[in-house]
Amino acid sequence: MRLLYFGWVRSRIGVGGEDVSPPAEIADVRALIAWLSARGKGYADAFADLRVVRVAVNQEMADLDAAVKHGDEVALFPPMTGG
Amino acid sequence: MIRVQREDFDIGAEINRLTKGNVKVGGLACFVGLVRDVAGDQRITSMTLEHYPGMTERQLEKIEAEARRRWPLQEVLIVHRYGTLAPGDRIVLVVTVSAHREASLESCHFLIDWLKTKAPFWKLEKTESGAQWVASREEDEQAATRWAENEPA
């Protein structure tokens, strides 16, 4: 699974992206974030307040209950500030 | 048409290219977003725009398609820059071309409101006391919501 981080999510985690192989029981975004948060302080800081975390699965906006699976591209980022 | 680029754009050249040889145009509306030099009480030295390559283009295409669905538009142009910009630099250009002013003005306003909350860009402002990510504003969310509630006639 390809993970991408943007904005302060990237700053807090310290990398822009990584390839991960979460255990089989990680089936949705919420579980994926919980699994990532247990990996270290940067992750825990990035995902401390899920109200300000946005998600895209395979480049389409998704919510925390969206399904994720091996091979997906999952991006985690703050609310967008375009324009 | 959408473009995501590091380079600056020439507003006059873009408008000329969009309307050249088209005598059915009644009006065009144009919005240009620029980098301000202050954020709150802090002086900004630069702003870096990060984006999500691939998804950015997809989102901008969707936003353009939505504007074309709602208004009779002959041309739509969205140019959004990324990378490090200085105060006064242009960030974004939206041009909408129609037979009538209402369609061009309203759709231009709609596009820029939607860009604020639906285009995957993030702004990092550098000030003399350090760098800070620009937070999304509640007013921007409200502005985008307005278009969801009020479909044009």
Closest partner residue to B121 among A59, A75, A80, by Cβ?
Answer: A80
- Give which of B114, B123, B119 is closest to B142, Cα–Cα: B114
In this predicted structure, the answer to whether residue A75 has a pLDDT above a threshold of 80 is: yes
pLDDT in tens, B6-23: 999 999 999 999 999 999
In this predicted structure, the answer to whether residue B153 has a pLDDT above a threshold of 80 is: no
**pLDDT in the model for residue B137:** 81
Region B127-149: mean pLDDT is: 85
**pLDDT in the model for residue B132:** 93
Domain extent at residue A13: 2-77
Chain B residue numbers with beta carbons less than 8 Å from the beta carbon of A82 are 80, 92, 115-121
C-alpha to C-alpha distances, A49 to A33, A34, A37, A45, nearest whole angstrom: 11, 12, 11, 8
**pLDDT in the model for residue B36:** 93
Can you give the CATH number for the domain in which B95 is found? 3.90.1170.40
- A29 located within any domain: yes
Higher pLDDT, B136 or B60: B60
Residues B62-94: b if buried by 16+ CB within 10 A, e if exposed: bbbebbeeebebbbbbbbbbbeebeeeebbbbb
**pLDDT in the model for residue B149:** 62
Q: Taking CB atoms and an 8 Å limit, are A79 and B117 in contact across chains?
A: yes
**Based on the structure, what is the number of domains in chain B?**
1
- A57 located within any domain: yes
**Residues 39 to 78 of A: which have CB under 8 A from any B CB?**
56, 59-60, 75, 77-78
Query: How much is the pTM?
Result: 0.92
Region B67-94: mean pLDDT is: 98
Place of tokens 């990996």: A39
Domain extent at residue B46: 2-149
Distance of alpha carbon A29 from alpha carbon B84, whole angstroms: 32
A5 in contact with B, Cβ within 8 Å: no
Q: Going by DSSP bridges, is the β-strand pair A73-77/A2-5 parallel, antiparallel, or unpaired?
A: parallel
B87 in contact with A, Cβ within 8 Å: no
**Residues 108 to 127 of B: which have CB under 8 A from any A CB?**
112, 115-124
B147 in contact with A, Cβ within 8 Å: no
pLDDT in tens, A29-52: 999 999 999 999 999 999 999 999
In this predicted structure, the answer to whether residue B145 has a pLDDT above a threshold of 90 is: no
Chain A residue numbers with beta carbons less than 8 Å from the beta carbon of B55 are 56, 59, 75
**pLDDT in the model for residue A55:** 98
**Based on the structure, what is the number of domains in chain A?**
1
**pLDDT in the model for residue A73:** 98
Can you give the CATH number for the domain in which A11 is found? 3.10.20.30
Q: Taking CB atoms and an 8 Å limit, are A79 and B52 in contact across chains?
A: no
pLDDT in tens, B84-108: 999 999 999 999 999 999 999 999 9
Mean pLDDT, rounded, of chain B: 93
Torsion from C-alpha of A80, A68, B2, A15, nearest 10 degrees: 60
Place of tokens 């074309």: B68
